[in-house]
Structure 1
Amino acid sequence: MTTLAIILFLVLALLGMPLAFSLGLAALGGLAWSGIELSVLPQRMMHAVNSFPLMAIPLFMLAGELMVGGQVMQRTIDFANAFVGRVKGGLAHVTLLSGLGLASVTGAAVAGASALGTTMMPAMKKHYDAGFGSAVVASASNLGPIIPPSAAMIVYALMAGSSVSVGGLFMAGVVPGVLLVVGMMVLSTWIAHRKGYPPTGEPFSLKNLLVQTKRAGAIMLMPVIVIGGIVGGVFTATEGAAIAVVYAFVIGKWITRKLEWVDLPGCMFRAALTSAVVGALIAFATPLTFLFTIDLIPMRLSELIQSITDNPQVFLALVMAMLLVVGMFLESNAAYIMLVPLFAPIALAYGIDPLYFGFLFVFNLVIGMMTPPVGVLLFVICGIAKIPMSQLLRYVWPFIALQYLVLALCWIFPEVVTALPHALGY
């Protein structure tokens, strides 16, 4: 029955059906074939989304929407401009640093792409080739699921169960996230020199930097309070997300003074719409994972893999190779929901650090959001920049290669991922 469900899901997905619909219909077909009561379907769906940790995702989404509605991005960009100064590739650096700041609030790539794309693309097109500017915006947006708070890591932790903590996964992404930003800035500088792009921005001034730091101080304090509270055990990830919503509202309403009461329904609607997609995927995929469980698929898969190799690194290589392919064709949230319950227990059986495995799993699928043919970020950015996909693809490959290079570095040197969370007691 599991085989039937998987085949049905793949057929529907390849026919272009919505992923939530494909998952639900596949689970329904598998349950009907097995003779199990179909009442299991709504029960499992309701149980999956009736989750306190899962509430963190819509709350962080709403916090991001409030920050965008409060026009916080402009202060973040002004601070990044003052920090970078006038250099070749300076506007790309500003975009990447702004993406880093936005990632520490929203935790989602698509939300970051929408905010960064609409804010930065006009200036990018003015100074750079539209393809290069779009590639930089896509890369900066893809920091969202890596830098805490990450919606992808929340979903992973939810599907992996008690073996991994959300706070630990958040901290696992800090060092690789910084490495990504630095590497992308270096790559942008090299491309800017190679293409002969002019310097952008104003000359560096310590006085201006201090002024912009003061203007953006309250904004930069937000991730420190929220993430610090989660990591320090002061509050849970969901409670931290609720605090982020209140903080974002206060900043937009009384600090930047750009957020109006009439803006709130729109912010809530957009956050609800994005969150509903994630919730629907989780709800419809849960009956499918239930079929995996009653068919003993995780145990059989574990026995099969362990019969092939008893080397944890070989197992990791097999999983990473599989995720590389999966990320090109399957939406990342659907992949977490279907694959984490299968492979997280096997990784534990091999004695692999769950934080290390979890981060590599998430990072690999996050890169998949930029890889064709189903790179969702590529479609979003092309729509915002109004350029053909072929023009973006000419420039985006070096940034994709850089992300895989950092992934390989994290794989070869686990301390890059685990040192910080272990130092904090995770």
Structure 2
Amino acid sequence: MSTLVVVGFMAIALLGVPIAFAMGLSAIIAIWFAGIDLSIIPQRMMYSVNSFPLMAIPFFMLSGELMIKAGIIERLISFANALVGRVRGGLAHVTMLSGAGLATVSGTAVSDASALSAILVPSLSKIYDKGFATAIVAAAANLGPIIPPSAAMIVYAFMAGPSVSVGGMFMAGVVPGVLITIGFMGLCSWIATRRGWTTTGEAFKWGRLFSELKRSAIVLFMPLLIIGGIIGGAFTATEGSAVSVIYALILGFGITRTLKLSDLPGIILRAAITTAVVCALIAFASVITYLMTVDLMPQKLSALLFSITKDPIIYLLLVTVLLFIVGMFLESNSAYIMLVPLLHPIAIQYGIDPLHFGFLFVLNLVIGMLTPPVGVVLFVVCGVTGVRMRELVTNIWPFVAWMYAVLLLCLFFPAIVTTLPRAMGY
């Protein structure tokens, strides 16, 4: 039965229909063939989305939209420009730091890609060729789900169950996120030097840096407040997401004063649409997960894998290859919802640290957002800027290669991922 679900889902999805519809239809077909009462479908769907932790997703989505509209990107860009603007590839460095800063308040790659493309690509294109300019923005936007808070990590923790905490996942992403950002900036310098691009921006001045830091402090304080509150136990991730919405409203209406009441309907609608897509995927996937559980699919797969190898490193490498392929063809939220309940319990049986496996899983699928043919960040950037996909893909590969290098580094040296969350008590 579970084989029928997987084959049916992949076949329907390859026809080009929406992923949620493919999940639902494949589940209905499998249940019908198995002779199970169809009333199980709405029951499992309602049970899966009736969850307090899942409320963090719409709040963080809403908070990110509010912060972008509140003009935080302009402040982050000004601060980053004062810090690293006057070096070779300076504006590319500014973009990377802006993407990292935006990641600390948004938690998603798609919204970051849209905002950064609209604001930075016109300026980047005056200095660099447009293909490289859009690649810089796509890479910077992809930091969103890695640097906390991360909507992807919330979904993973929810699907993995009590063995993984949202706060632990957030902390697991800090050190690798910094490594990826530094590597991206190094690549920008190397490419700018190789192509002979000159320095840009104003000369470094301590006075200007402190002035921009003071101006941006209210923005930079938000991730410290939210993530610090979650880690310190002041509130849960869901409560922290609600606090972030209030903070964004105060910032937009009272500090930057760029947020208007007329902006709220559109902001709420965009956050609601994104949330509805994720929750629909979770609802339909819960039926498929139930069928796999009834059919003992995890146990069968576990027995198969143990018959092949008992080495946890080999298992991690097999999962990495699987997710590399899945990431090229399947939307990441669908992959979390379909594969986490299947692969996470097996990782625990291999004795792999749940946080270590969880972060590797998330990072692998985040990289998939930059790989064709179904790289959602690539499509967003191309849609906003009008650049051709071929031109973007030609320039994005060094950044994808570096992310895979960090992935392998984290795979063979788990302390990179686990030291900080363990020090924080996770």
Tell me the TM-score normalized by structure 2.
0.99
Measure the CA separation in 2 of the matches of 1:33 and 1:191.
56
More off after superposition, 2-11 vs 265-274: 2-11
After superposition, where does 1:86-125 map in structure 2 within 5 Å? Answer: 86-125=86-125
2:260 is aligned to 260
After superposition, where does 1:230-269 map in structure 2 within 5 Å? Answer: 230-269=230-269
Q: Deviations over 1:334-360 (max 9, x none)?
A: 111111001111111111100000000
Q: Match of 2:147, SS?
A: coil
Q: Match of 1:200, SS?
A: coil
Q: Is the 8 A contact 2:55 2:238 kept in 1?
A: yes
Measure the CA separation in 2 of the matches of 1:13 and 1:196.
45
Measure the CA separation in 2 of the matches of 1:40 and 1:264.
38
After superposition, where does 1:19-418 map in structure 2 within 5 Å? Answer: 19-418=19-418
Shift of 1:155: 0.5
Shift of 1:227: 0.4
Shift of 1:233: 1.2
Measure the CA separation in 2 of the matches of 1:229 and 1:397.
37
Q: Is the 8 A contact 2:85 2:91 kept in 1?
A: no
Q: Match of 1:87, SS?
A: coil
Measure the CA separation in 1 of the matches of 2:278 and 2:87.
40
Measure the CA separation in 2 of the matches of 1:387 and 1:358.
34
Measure the CA separation in 1 of the matches of 2:358 and 2:286.
19
More off after superposition, 3-12 vs 131-140: 3-12
Measure the CA separation in 2 of the matches of 1:47 and 1:199.
56
Measure the CA separation in 2 of the matches of 1:111 and 1:319.
28
Give the 4+ runs in structure 1 shifted more than 3 A. Answer: none
Q: Match of 1:163, SS?
A: coil
Measure the CA separation in 1 of the matches of 2:188 and 2:72.
25
Q: Match of 2:162, SS?
A: helix
Q: Letter of the 2:318 partner, please give it.
A: L
Measure the CA separation in 1 of the matches of 2:2 and 2:25.
13
Q: Deviations over 1:225-260 (max 9, x none)?
A: 000011111110000000000001111111101001
Shift of 1:54: 0.7
Q: Is the 8 A contact 1:169 1:359 kept in 2?
A: yes
State, as a whole percentage, how many aligned pairs show the same letter.
60
Measure the CA separation in 1 of the matches of 2:178 and 2:225.
19
Q: Is the 8 A contact 1:130 1:385 kept in 2?
A: no
Structure 2 unaligned segments of length 5 or more: list them. none
Q: Letter of the 1:227 partner, please give it.
A: I
Tell me the TM-score normalized by structure 1.
0.99
Q: Letter of the 1:40 partner, please give it.
A: I
Shift of 1:79: 0.6
Measure the CA separation in 1 of the matches of 2:245 and 2:369.
26
Q: Deviations over 1:191-220 (max 9, x none)?
A: 011111221211111001111111100100
Measure the CA separation in 2 of the matches of 1:200 and 1:272.
40
Q: Is the 8 A contact 1:100 1:140 kept in 2?
A: yes
Once superposed, what is the RMSD of the aligned Cα atoms? Answer: 0.8
Q: Match of 1:199, SS?
A: coil
Matched length: 426
Q: Is the 8 A contact 1:68 1:115 kept in 2?
A: yes
Q: Letter of the 1:160 partner, please give it.
A: A
Measure the CA separation in 2 of the matches of 1:373 and 1:261.
39
Q: Deviations over 1:284-309 (max 9, x none)?
A: 11101111000000111111111111
Measure the CA separation in 2 of the matches of 1:28 and 1:197.
57
Measure the CA separation in 2 of the matches of 1:77 and 1:114.
15
Shift of 1:85: 3.1
Measure the CA separation in 2 of the matches of 1:90 and 1:276.
39
Q: Deviations over 1:24-45 (max 9, x none)?
A: 1111111111111111101111
Shift of 1:412: 1.2
More off after superposition, 190-199 vs 363-372: 190-199
Q: Deviations over 1:377-399 (max 9, x none)?
A: 11111111111111111100111
Q: Letter of the 1:362 partner, please give it.
A: V
Measure the CA separation in 2 of the matches of 1:388 and 1:68.
26
Measure the CA separation in 2 of the matches of 1:352 and 1:11.
32
Q: Deviations over 1:312-331 (max 9, x none)?
A: 11111111111111111111
Measure the CA separation in 2 of the matches of 1:370 and 1:203.
34
Q: Letter of the 1:180 partner, please give it.
A: I
Q: Is the 8 A contact 2:367 2:403 kept in 1?
A: yes
Measure the CA separation in 2 of the matches of 1:73 and 1:373.
29
Measure the CA separation in 2 of the matches of 1:134 and 1:49.
36
Q: Letter of the 2:293 partner, please give it.
A: T
Measure the CA separation in 1 of the matches of 2:11 and 2:412.
36
Shift of 1:135: 0.6
Q: Match of 2:7, SS?
A: helix
Q: Match of 1:88, SS?
A: coil
Shift of 1:274: 1.1
Measure the CA separation in 1 of the matches of 2:17 and 2:182.
39
Measure the CA separation in 1 of the matches of 2:413 and 2:5.
38
More off after superposition, 317-326 vs 2-11: 2-11
Q: Is the 8 A contact 2:85 2:93 kept in 1?
A: no
